[in-house]
Amino acid sequence: MKKFPISIRPFGVHAVLIEWPEKVDEAILNDILIFSTYLKESCLIEGNWELVPAYNSLTLILRHDTIDFESFKTQLETWYTEDKKLKLEERFLWRIPVCYESEFSIDLEEVSQILNKTPKELISIHAAHAYTVYGIGFLPGFMYLGGMPQELEIPRRATPRAKVLKGAVGLAGKQTGIYPQESPGGWNIIGNCPIPIFNPKNENPCWVKVGDRVQFYPISKAEYDLHKIEAEVGIYKLEKIKIDA
């Protein structure tokens, strides 16, 4: 496996930031995730560390103690270059139902006009691509998705809304994504997903992880209502397909 030039820097006394070349690139993301899995499984003491991958970086956070940076850096460099049999964690493509009907797609009409497409065309382009999860942050369960087709790029709304619904699917700049909870927001809303992304009652509160992919597919309002109830009572199963590394 190709190794990248990485930089290791202190981030306060409890954390270390490892950076890969500054690019949105699946090869880089995969390298980060392989290293992260290796660190978790073979190097770091379980329960003491949090590892936060995002785009071209991996941040390691130590719970209580302070890090002796220079010696830890040397150790990390060794771990990174060691020629071990490394594997990616199992990853999935999630198929996510989205209702693009007018009750939810409050900006679809306007966005279609600006992008010079019919709403139907816009929906089919949005649903035709699988998007890679490059990071989770901003809100619990909020995915930073990469791989949006250029023809759907549209600026954020000039004035953010005070309230965007939980499950709202939006477009902004080079990004598309789902609001995991009700929140203020400036994205252009084109649909809504009835399945919660984040549930604090579950032992694993968030089914998606960095490195997974998501693909949206259109559903009717009737299917939306049904899936929402199924999800609430815990019988809805999201369709997932294993990704071959």
Partner 1 sequence: MLKVLKSGFYTTIQDTGRFGFRDKGVPISGVMDMTTVYKLNMLLENDQDAAVLEITMTGPTLEFEEDTFIVLGGAEMVVTLNNEPIKNYVVQKVSAGDILSYGRLKKGFRPYLAVKHGFQTNKVLGSRSFYPSITPNGMITDKSEIAYKKQSVFTPKLTGLKIESILEESVLQVGKGPEFNSLTDKQLENLFFKKYTVANENNRMAYQLEEKIDGHVISMLTSATLPGTVQLTPSGKLIILMKDGQTTGGYPRILQLTDTAISILAQKKAGDIIAFKLM
The least distance separating partner 1 from the CB of residue 11, rounded to whole angstroms, comes to 6
Select 22 or 103, whichever has its Cβ closest to partner 1.
Answer: 22
Binding of residue 131 to partner 1 (CB under 8 A): no
- At which residue do the structure tokens 């040397």 appear? 74
Spatial separation of the C-alpha atoms in residues 196 and 242, rounded to whole Å: 21
The least distance separating partner 1 from the CB of residue 63, rounded to whole angstroms, comes to 6
The least distance separating partner 1 from the CB of residue 118, rounded to whole angstroms, comes to 32
Out of 35, 55, 94, 187, the only residue in the binding site for partner 1 (CB under 8 A) is: 55
HSE-up (13 A, CA, CB side) for residue 49: 19
Binding of residue 22 to partner 1 (CB under 8 A): yes
Mark the segment that binds partner 1 (CB under 8 A) among 15-23, 98-106, 117-125, 212-220: 15-23
Binding of residue 13 to partner 1 (CB under 8 A): yes
Pick the closest to residue 57 from 92, 88, 19, 85 (CA basis): 19
Kindly report the backbone phi and psi dihedral angles of residue 206, in degrees, each rounded to the nearest multiple of 5, phi listed first.
-140, 115
Site string for partner 1, 60-79 (x = CB under 8 A): -x-x----------------
Q: Which two tokens stand for residue 3?
A: 């190794």
Select 103 or 232, whichever has its Cβ closest to partner 1.
Answer: 232
Dihedral sign, CA of 122, 113, 176, 56? positive
Spatial separation of the C-alpha atoms in residues 104 and 225, rounded to whole Å: 12
Binding of residue 50 to partner 1 (CB under 8 A): yes
Binding of residue 137 to partner 1 (CB under 8 A): yes
SS3 state at 116: coil
Binding of residue 210 to partner 1 (CB under 8 A): yes
The footprint of partner 1 on this chain (CB under 8 A) covers a number of residues equal to: 42
Determine the Cα angle at 37 with ends 35 and 40, to 5°. Answer: 110
Spatial separation of the C-alpha atoms in residues 111 and 118, rounded to whole Å: 9
Residues at the site binding partner 1, with contacts judged by CB under 8 A:
9-15, 17, 19, 22, 24, 47, 50-57, 59, 61, 63, 134-142, 144, 180-181, 198, 200-201, 205-206, 209-210
